[in-house]
Amino acid sequence: AQRVTQPEKLLSVFKGAPVELKCNYSYSGSPELFWYVQYSRQRLQLLLRHISRESIKGFTADLNKGETSFHLKKPFAQEEDSAMYYCALVTIAGKSTFGDGTTLTVKP
Amino acid sequence: ETGVTQSPTHLIKTRGQQVTLRCSSQSGHNTVSWYQQALGQGPQFIFQYYREEENGRGNFPPRFSGLQFPNYSSELNVNALELDDSALYLCASSQVPRNTDTQYFGPGTRLTVL
């Protein structure tokens, strides 16, 4: 069975500092990986997906199949990045598995 | 374009009762997935509906069942409620049940079982 692990429940950085939110996965097939974000009092929404290879709000994520990781990175954190971040894996059958999330706090 | 809506916002039930939660998909979407999110955890996949048929299921017992209607709205039914069923229930819609497709989430229904 597939599994997604986000080892840090809480992560705190200062504004302007680099930030990396870790995501590790286990899955025997070829996964599709996503990062979702939930800002305060808002619904869960897509941040980015690995297949698009895009940068959203300055965030990027690279799929490392050797290390089975999909870490989310941003070189210079902003206060508005404070939110809950979830890593999710979707199997070829369309079944989604989410990690338990990391709460990011960016301090001024 | 309207977003995903869910009703009710929250409700309280007692153990052993039955509950029905409702979800309206985003316009143009024919796939709905349901998730259970316990406090402090990520969403857990319950099942997915595509064109009114169940299209995949997570590790939830049969007392969790669903329906999808011709207008692609959906219901989640839970029978014989247990205390551990207390959680936030999320639905998400997508255009197709393709693993690369973006899911759009509703605001959730908070269920409390006493």
Decide if B87 touches A, using CB distance below 8 A.
Answer: no
What is the percentage of chain A residues whose pLDDT exceeds 70? 100
| Mean predicted confidence (pLDDT) in B8-13 | 96
Decide if B97 touches A, using CB distance below 8 A.
Answer: yes
Q: pLDDT tens across A49-100, in order?
A: 887 777 788 999 988 989 999 999 999 999 999 999 999 998 877 788 999 9
Phi, psi of A50 (to 5 degrees): -70, -30
In angstroms, the Cα distances linking A18 to A41, A59, A74, A106 are: 25, 10, 6, 10
Q: Count how many pairs of residues, chain A against chain B, have C-beta atoms within 8 Å.
A: 56
In angstroms, the Cα distances linking B65 to B22, B44, B71, B78 are: 12, 15, 18, 6
Which residues in chain B are contacts of A49 at CB distance < 8 A?
100, 102
Q: pLDDT tens across B17-74, in order?
A: 999 999 999 888 989 999 999 999 999 999 999 989 998 899 999 999 999 999 889 9
Specify the pLDDT at position B1. Answer: 52
Specify the pLDDT at position B27. Answer: 86
Interface test with A, best of B99, B102, B105 (most A CBs within 10 A): B99
Searching chain A, which residue's CA lies closest to the CA of residue B49?
A94
